[in-house]
Amino acid sequence: MYQMMQPQIDILLFEIIFPLMCFNDNDQKLWEEDPHEYVRKVYDIIEDLYSPRTAAMDFVSELIRKRGKNNLQKFIHFIVDIFRRYDEAPADLKPYRQKDGALLAIGTLCDKLKQT
């Protein structure tokens, strides 16, 4: 399966999977309406079973675990680029949502990064 996905892995990873890991409009709405529910939802084990964010985290984790040699370096460069753009942007244009996704990605890969 990986051989079939490999030519499109960058598109899949950076344009589909990573945006699922970022803070989104639904999260913003829930945070503004009911912050307690937002926190409960984030830490609810049952919610994780149906969460696209959790599925994206699992995909990244498995991809790096199984095919890390080919993908870890480019994924980390992507994440570092997000942090660089965040740092360079003026306060009113900072990509906060992408930074949230990048921090989640680093947390997802923390064990692999410790080993590397």
Which tokens in the block code for residue 102? Answer: 């990048």
pLDDT in tens, 54-99: 999 999 999 999 988 889 999 999 999 999 999 999 999 999 999 9
The answer to whether residue 110 scores a pLDDT higher than 90 is yes
**pLDDT at position 5, please?**
87
Per-domain residue ranges for the chain? 2-115
Burial zone of 75 (CB within 10 Å; 0-12 exposed, 13-18 middle, 19+ buried): buried
pLDDT digits (tens, 9 = 90+) for 20-45: 999 999 999 999 999 999 999 888 88
pTM for the predicted model, two decimal places: 0.88
